[in-house]
Structure 1
Amino acid sequence: MKRLLVVLAGMMLLACSKEEPAPEIVRPVLSITVQALDEQNLGRFAGSIQARYESNIGFRVPGRIASRSVDVGAEVDKGALLATLDPTDQQNQLRSAEGDLASVQAQLINAQASARRQQQLFDRGVGSQAQLDSALTDLKTTQASLDQAKAAVSQARDQLNYVELRADHKAVVTAWSAEAGQVVTAGQQVVTLAQPDIKEAVIDLPDTLIDQLPADVVFQVASQLNPNIATTAIVREIEPQAESATRTRRARLTLTETPPAFRLGTAISVTLSSAIKPRIELPLSALQEVDGKNRVWIIDAQTQTVSPRDVSIVSRTQTTVVLANDIKAGERVVSAGVNSLKPGQKVKVDEGNPQ
């Protein structure tokens, strides 16, 4: 009986010592849903909203700036006073011209009287033809001098009016190039006025990129403060010569629409893109190299298992890889953790990734 109990106990111990099957390992992975890209991003560049039409204006006469009436950013109407010069010189010129006019007017009265006397003497037969001709010549010369003196007075009055610099159209003051107390020459740039009605986007593009821009390039213009405020644009002009220091060329873009938030000086970002044949782009971390072949891991949505698939690479960068038509849009691919997978293995998809 004892021997039987010993045998039974040994059998029970042997049964308990058998190894239970190991639980199936479920590996957590990061994944993405494949999307076909149908446009190529050519870069993003910073720029600003500027007026299409700007004018640099200055005084029409030389002098010392006595006052400035507006500051940068001010909106001015047509005829608004912007700045004034010290009018002393122009006032003195006007007084001098008016004095010359009065003198010539007095000379004209004498010339007219002399011509009348000589005509009377000649008519009575006591005056000579030479004296009459001389008097008439003096009269014509004095009349010409009077016309010249009147023109000088008119010009002096205009010069006095030119000491006031006024806006010739409704505009926004964007820059001052001279300050009060500064002496300026006639025509020297003093202030820049921008017409706010027509605006455009201005960016600096690399010289090498401009030569490679496709004909169907699209410019997406968005506010840097609020990217939801956006529109498209087309190229109006590109400077023909690159800036020597930066090797960039300034491009001016005509906006398709001008949102109210696009005020003069608004900082913008411009994204360049062009249509391309649909392609698949994945992060480089999704690629696995095995025995000289490239492959990715496809996730079965129903079984939550993975299977490898060989792929052909079209191009790659430091962070992404472009594939041929080996994967379809909508399939889910492991984007990180590929080196620890094996065919048919169950995985746990990170719920935080885009579906």
Structure 2
Amino acid sequence: MNRLMIVLPVALLLSACGSDKEQAEPVRPVLSTLVEPQVQAQLGRFAGSIQARFESTLGFRVSGRIARRWLDVGAQVKPGDTLATLDPTDQQNQLRAAEGDLAKVQAQWINAQADARRQQQLYDRGVGAQAQLDIAQTNLKTTGAALEQARSAVSQARDQLDYSTLRTDHAAVVTAWQAEAGQTVSAGQAVVTLARPDVKEAVIDLPTYLAEQLSKDLTFTVALQLEPSISTTATLRELEPQADATTRTRRARLTLVSTPDTFHLGTAVSVTLSSAVSPRSELPRSALLERDGKTQVWVVDPQQKTVATRDVQLLERDPQRIVLASGVQPGERVVTAGVNILKPGQKVTFDEDAR
């Protein structure tokens, strides 16, 4: 009886020790993420706008006072549409003066023709002098030249009158006016800017250091700022050779591979730059474990629900992220929090289990 009483406390003590040993290795909940391969390096995101590839600034070919501006900004025009008109008084007066000079010269030319015929007839009958005939024929040629000059003057005056109306020769959209009705403008002065809406491109301003590193394999992703799901890719068409003196940026013009219907002129877009790189993986900075001169991460075994360390090779690091060249494979799960309190082979539960 006494022996039984001694054995029972010893068995209970051993059972308690075994229970404490099992509780010494708790199952720890961890935060984790799946490794995804990265073959494009993000170089930055910049704000830009959709603009027409072809723009033209028009002006009157004659001087004058603008009598009327027929259209507003945003109006669509067709070839031959009137944009603005000058006060045509000066051009009309010049045309009337030229037409008067033409009538005068025409009368002189008729008289010169009659005189030349008369002198020719007299000379043919032997009663006219050669000198008189020569004078009449010279006068006819001179008057004929004056007649051509007068006709050219009338044609030029009519052109000047026609130039007092500013028209477009192609389909376009009015994007800006540089002059208003009542303003006096000189010949060639900028009056209105037109953009052709059929060919659009994205325009952004890049920092000088980045503009100098642009390569041929660079990819541009252009997306609407208000609707990022609507996007397209683009290629670099033109890069300004000099930086802006104020912003120290260089303007880049991008040719769109496709143009969604919502890409209207002036629409704000977000342009992301990326470049092809060797396969790599990006993880949160909190996933990195540095111990004994090694750079490691904890990899989760989804079957056993345990963790193990894995040596990795770092390419980049910053306060928010790390970029790995090797050590983990796509699809593997890596612990992203609490890396300093884990042990190899420790049981864990991760966020996927919680969901």
- What is the TM-score normalised by the length of structure 2? 0.86
Q: Partners of 1:268 and 1:238 in 2: how far apart? A: 18
1:216 and 2:217 correspond: yes
Deviation at 1:49, TM superposition (A): 1.8
Q: Deviations over 1:42-83 (max 9, x none)?
A: 222222222222222211111111111111111111100111
Partner of 1:106: 107
Q: Partners of 2:254 and 2:313 in 1: how far apart? A: 39
> SS of the residue aligned with 1:237?
strand
Q: Which runs of 4+ in 1 moved over 6 A?
A: none
Q: Partners of 2:119 and 2:276 in 1: how far apart? A: 95
Amino acid at match of 1:306: V
1:37 and 2:49 correspond: no
Alignment of 1:269-280 (within 5 A): 269-280=270-281
Deviation at 1:111, TM superposition (A): 2.8
Range that drifts further, 322-331 or 57-66: 322-331
Q: Partners of 2:350 and 2:85 in 1: how far apart? A: 73
Q: Deviations over 1:90-144 (max 9, x none)?
A: 0110111111112222322333343344445545555433233223322222222
Partner of 1:169: 170
Partner of 2:148: 147
Alignment of 1:109-148 (within 5 A): 109-123=110-124, 125-148=126-149
> SS of the residue aligned with 1:244?
coil
> SS of the residue aligned with 1:159?
helix
Partner of 1:334: 335
Inter-CA distance 156–300: structure 2 relative to 1 (3 Å threshold)? same
> SS of the residue aligned with 1:336?
coil
> SS of the residue aligned with 1:43?
strand
Deviation at 1:215, TM superposition (A): 2.9
Inter-CA distance 352–129: structure 2 relative to 1 (3 Å threshold)? farther
Deviation at 1:270, TM superposition (A): 1.9
> SS of the residue aligned with 1:215?
coil
1:320 and 2:316 correspond: no
Partner of 1:203: 204
Partner of 1:91: 92
> SS of the residue aligned with 2:80?
coil
Q: Partners of 1:352 and 1:186 in 2: how far apart? A: 77
Partner of 1:55: 56
Between the aligned residues of both structures, percent identity stands at 66
What runs of 5+ residues in structure 1 fail to find an aligned partner?
1-6
What runs of 5+ residues in structure 2 fail to find an aligned partner?
none
Partner of 1:227: 228
> SS of the residue aligned with 1:329?
coil
Partner of 1:242: 243
> SS of the residue aligned with 2:33?
strand
> SS of the residue aligned with 1:179?
coil
Range that drifts further, 263-272 or 68-77: 263-272
Q: Partners of 1:352 and 1:285 in 2: how far apart? A: 21
The RMSD of aligned alpha carbons is 2.8
Q: Partners of 2:235 and 2:29 in 1: how far apart? A: 47
Paired residues, number: 343
Does the 8 Å contact 2:279/2:325 carry over to 1? no
- What is the TM-score normalised by the length of structure 1? 0.86
Range that drifts further, 125-134 or 54-63: 125-134
Range that drifts further, 114-123 or 213-222: 114-123
Does the 8 Å contact 2:221/2:272 carry over to 1? yes
Partner of 2:289: 288
Range that drifts further, 126-135 or 184-193: 126-135
